[in-house]
Structure 1
Amino acid sequence: MTEDYVTVEQLSDVLANQRQLEASFEALKAKYDRLVAERESFEALKTKYDQLLFEHEKLRRRLLGPKRERVPASDSQLPLPDVLDVLGALGVLPRGDDDDVEADGSALAAAKQAACDADKKKKPKRKARRRDLSELELPVERIVLEPPERDGPGGGDLVKIGEEVSEHVERRAETLVRVQVVRPKYKRPGAPPVDVEAPPAPLKLGAPLAAAKPPEEPAILIAELPARPIPGGLAGPGLLAHTLVSKYCDHLPWHRLSSILAREGFPVAKSTLSDWVEGSVKLLSHITRAMWSDAKANASYVIVDATGVLVQAKEKCRRRSFYVAVVPGEHVLYRYVKKNDGPSVAQLFEGFSGYIHADAASVYHELYDERPDLTEVGCRVGGEVALPAPHRSGRADFPHPVPHAAGSLA
């Protein structure tokens, strides 16, 4: 059996190596601690440097202003009197010119004030003038209106001396056309020459009135100009109908409809389209009033429903109501009421007699109680037929149920 022994020299070498390693470790640890301290000091200095740089930039901007390539108009040039005062203080200008400098400065200030006053004055408004349709690249359609005398006895002897042309824009199938309404002018044979451009002679104050002369046949004959839907407007009936359908059936906003008309060769402002609708509403209101009058006078059965809407106001939206009254096979009528209560409903159906088919809203109670000529109509409870709301799309064409008196419902 062999035994291993460690000599004294070997043990001494191991201990020496251990001490050397411990010394190296302590040196490295001290170096690491020094580096950590230096890093922390560097970060603190960097933070302080950034803060000082920021404060320096703020002070520089306050003293010198921000960097920019464009100079505002207010800073582009100093007033001349201030410049002259500075130059005089520096001794650049001779002292003998002080009076001239003050005079120049006063004149400059007066001129500047006059210019400001002139700018403040409102510019005169331009007089409204009719739009020239000849600039539009639209097909031209001429409609010649002859005076009735042209077709009468001696009409072939009339002498044409000119014509009056008025234009408006009409819509044809898938295109816009410029319609010219031409009215030829004729002079009767043997009539004295008439200056059509000369104005009538003015009446003199104090002159005796001449005896009334019998009406004479006019020397110049011209057909009457047909009335337009909107007086003085450029849109014909077809274009107005197209505008209403596009807005309220196709739901096109004004800017889209204006762009569509511009692509077709007729630029129209959104405000003009709004004016067209306003003028059309005035015309169509006669039809709707006639429809209400006919319904009240002749209809014996009407279906009624109401829909609440929010109307924009200054502070908050107001709740109002739209009433829909359907006379089957005759009319679909709409009315707007500010307050949905019994008196409003009673006023709405004033003059109507017959059956009123409505829901169980309390606003109808006053109408039924005070009007014996009206009969309340409802749907049979649990019946197989139900009445759809008439204001919904397509529901007004459905067959209405057989009316049943409210008193007979179980």
Structure 2
Amino acid sequence: MDVRRAQARGANASISNATTDEAASRQALPAHLPREDHVLKPESSCPDCGRPMQVLGEDESEQLARVAAAFKVIRTIQRKLVCPCCSTITQPPMPGLPIQRSIAHPSLLADILVSKYADHQPLYRQSAIAARDGVTLDRASMGRGVGQCEALCAPLTEPLRRYTMAATKLHADDTPIPVLSPGNRKTRTGRLWVYVRDDHRSGSTQPAQSGSRTRRTGKASILKPISPV
């Protein structure tokens, strides 16, 4: 009978806690995130009489944690085999890399690009962040990698640029930005021209698309197209 009363009190307490949480309008954590359970178990014997305890219930609470990104080294080992009869040697080829003879794995290049263009983290700041983990990322090498990745994306970005510029009507914006001038530790004014193709309000069914170009002040021609945004 005492156990039943204790179970009833536990159920009422759970309902009370749920009501309190609902009143506080606590936002539930995303269901797609993985869960890691830390189960806290009390002693199996009663602290008062020493008899075995029975399961009454449990309370759950969730906290949002973040697992910091970590560097690791991926070693690709190409084993060689030799035929003992005819001395034929075989070896699997090296998997292709975005930048040949580079130490940068595709995952590192992707992280550099996302951090630079989506999170607005300049390369020197990314280099300083990596240094906290004891990893040296040379800024010049990172810059070359960004340029080479841009060239690799050209088969995707160039058709999008042509599609955007082929519109009969474009929305444009001119944004001045400071650009480092190598050698004299000063900045010059650069310009970011953003073009948007979107005729939905005019009844067009064509998909919207945007792109951008850059130009340095004092130059007569546009330098190069930038990947559509």
Q: TM-score, normalised by structure 1?
A: 0.30
Higher helix share: 1
Larger radius of gyration: 1
Which structure is higher in RCO with an 8 Å CA cutoff and minimum separation 6?
A: 2
